[in-house]
Structure 1
Amino acid sequence: QDVYDMLQLQYKEGIKTYLDVLVSETELRTAQLNFYNSMYQVLSSRIDLQKALGTLTANY
């Protein structure tokens, strides 16, 4: 996020090109998506472990 923000500022000041901003934004979105996918995998694995141990409880 910080890299994207800095590039955005540099673009507004005329230092960087719009293409640099687009590439930076794409990399930011990819990193965010990878983070969310990793968090989903952690939670899914935790559920699988609880199932395997027989400790999964349903709270309705």
Structure 2
Amino acid sequence: MLVEAIKSRYLAAGGKAGRDHLTLMCNNYGIKVSVSTVGLIMRSEQLRAIRTQAWRRTTEADP
């Protein structure tokens, strides 16, 4: 039941929700779960959050 709940919320978020966000979503829905448990389930089900913010280069290398 817990795995299905996390998968459904992950898919509802378009694959953009990470373990922290999924934990908040589950806890708000009434499913009490910890961040580490959500992370373990995501890892075992091979779910990875899609990074939405581009990596920004902050330092330029000397030539």
* TM-score under structure 1 length normalisation: 0.27
More helix by percentage = 1
* TM-score under structure 2 length normalisation: 0.26
Which has the bigger relative contact order, CA under 8 A and spacing at least 6? 2
